[in-house]
Amino acid sequence: MNVETKDATADPIDWADVAGDPGLREARKRLLSRFVPGARTRRLKWSMGSTEMIEVGEGPPLVLIHGGLGEAGGWAPILTLLADHFHLYAPDRPGHGLSDPFDYRGVDLFELSATFLGDVLDNCGLRTVPLMGCSMGGLSAIAFYLRHPDRVSQLILPGMPAGLQRAVPPGIYQAQKLMHQLSTSSPGALIRSELAQPAGRGRMIEPLSALVAHPERVAEEYLDCDRFNLLRNHRSFRWYLDGIVTEEGLLPSLLLDQRWAELRVPTTFIWGEKDAFATVDKGRAAAARVPRNRFELIPDAGHAVWVDEPDRVAACILDSLHMSRGG
């Protein structure tokens, strides 16, 4: 498999799906204004399209890679806490956030990660950097390192990185079903109409409950980014989920297995005590297979651990990075 998309003339992307674009842009603007007032955004080209980049802070670089069905604004709760120490780069992954729609059918995600992240780093003039990624973003960071170990100085993995196990939470299958519904004229049209209204925030609470321990604490701006991200990118998300998950769980080709031992850079696991994707014991076991590992447990936090406990997670990240740099 390769990272080339399908022939658009044979099976075109429905560009009407970007109707959620204005909603997501406004929601992200409000989210950043509240949590990261110094943030700036810019359009960034890569070899297979374009994407949106959030940047904030001064100092050495740190690249943040969001998870599947997420978007770069999802890092907002922690950005200000890190921006006094690092120049942060948070791109939207292909087919997510404000990036171009992306056809994931037949795509090798390891090769895609190598291409996308390499292009992003080149565009930003970055040679060797620490990478931070959650869930599928963590797998993307690891995949990039395995192909370009000279370009990654450290790995930070908040939340279970995908590839640890085949089993996935039931919410993933529910999301997969929803993506198929959204792609239909009915009931998809009704769901899309609901998501476009403020009342659509309520629909986001259940999936958010699988990601954080305390969804009731999540700001409205965050929920708005989630619903417009879904509204804008549901077709890319459908292709994405269909390409990584089967009835048996995550595709075997995405499992890291023996690859953990190939991670020769300092690697920090920041694990939420209530991460619904995998137990603490499984996280510790995976970390133990990495030669230069550090494992930090965050009590009363879920998969998106920095959303539940931004101060604690930021402290872990800064400590790990400063130790690695000899600070």
Name the domain count of the chain. 1
Kindly state the tokens that stand for 128: 């060797």
Kindly state the tokens that stand for 107: 């795509």
DSSP assignment letter at 197? S
pLDDT of residue 186: 83
Q: Is residue 189 part of a domain?
A: yes
Q: Is residue 8 part of a domain?
A: no
Q: Is residue 227 part of a domain?
A: yes
162 pLDDT above the threshold of 70: yes
Are the C-beta atoms of residues 306 and 211 closer than 8 Å to each other?
Answer: no
219 pLDDT above the threshold of 70: yes
Q: Which residue has the tokens 């005590």?
A: 273
312 pLDDT above the threshold of 60: yes
Q: Is residue 201 part of a domain?
A: yes
pLDDT of residue 92: 98
**Where would I find the beta strands (DSSP E) of 32-128?**
40-46, 49-56, 61-65, 87-91
Q: Is residue 94 part of a domain?
A: yes
Lowest mean pLDDT among 9-18, 47-56, 86-95, 264-273: 9-18
Alpha-carbon dihedral angle through residues 26, 88, 270, 299, given to the nearest 10 degrees: -50
Return d(Cα 138, Cα 136) in angstroms, integer. Answer: 5
Q: Is residue 216 part of a domain?
A: yes
CATH number at residue 99: 3.40.50.1820
Are the C-beta atoms of residues 286 and 255 closer than 8 Å to each other?
Answer: no
Q: Which residue has the tokens 């039931």?
A: 170
Whole-prediction pTM: 0.93
Model confidence at 185, pLDDT cuts 50, 70, 90, reads confident
Are the C-beta atoms of residues 62 and 88 closer than 8 Å to each other?
Answer: yes
Return d(Cα 146, Cα 110) in angstroms, integer. Answer: 9
Question: Rounded mean pLDDT of the chain?
Answer: 92
Q: Is residue 6 part of a domain?
A: no
Q: How do beta strands 129-133 and 40-46 pair?
A: unpaired
pLDDT of residue 183: 83
Q: Is residue 9 part of a domain?
A: no
| Higher pLDDT among residues 160 and 4, named by residue | 160
pLDDT of residue 55: 98
- Encode pLDDT of 235-272 as tens digits: 999 999 999 999 999 999 999 999 999 999 999 999 99
* Domain that residue 169 falls in: 15-324
